[in-house]
Amino acid sequence: MNHLTEEYRHTADKLFDTGIDLTDAKRYPEALTAFRRALDLYRQTGDTHEDLADCLTNIGVTLRQVGQHEEALTSYRQALDIYRRIDGTEHDRARCLVNTGNTLRYVERYQEAVDAYQQALSLYQHKKIPDSRRLNVCTTSALL
């Protein structure tokens, strides 16, 4: 990895952490700015890596918080495309699918939400992922 790539990644990591902190503080527009700046830097490294997908997932979560549901779904889809290409990211993929399902449910696209939840549940069961969200997925799917 060259020096510039390392610098981009380091700065992107800091911006990502700032985005998390701003999201926790419910300062969503500022969080989106931080996440998007991090995303740009991650992309400039030339890699398709887990950090890029994590950033897209968090952008999706933040967009959902500000009512930009279609944009959130687009961000989740992009994250899922990356996670699918990286071994060992089943937990992240399942989490992203749960977020997708939650957003679809909120916009009353119930069948698509159920499909997303079922995909997440399948990952949880197949990979034996120990996560309390698994129960939430089951419960939410059943309620739909």
Q: Are residues 95 and 46 in the same domain?
A: no
Q: Are residues 4 and 60 in the same domain?
A: yes
- How crowded is residue 94: how many other Cβ atoms within 10 Å of its Cβ? 26
pTM for this prediction: 0.87
Instruction: Name the residue among 82, 111, 109 with its Cα closest to residue 96.
Output: 82
Q: Are residues 28 and 40 in the same domain?
A: yes
For 19-70, the pLDDT digits (tens) are: 999 999 999 999 999 999 999 999 998 776 899 999 999 999 999 999 999 9
Cβ contacts of residue 42 below 8 Å, gap of 6+? 8, 9, 12, 49, 51, 52, 55
Instruction: Name the residue among 60, 91, 83, 62 with its Cα closest to residue 73.
Output: 60
Domain CATH for 64:
1.25.40.10
Q: Are residues 54 and 2 in the same domain?
A: yes
For 109-142, the pLDDT digits (tens) are: 999 999 999 999 888 887 666 665 655 655 566 4
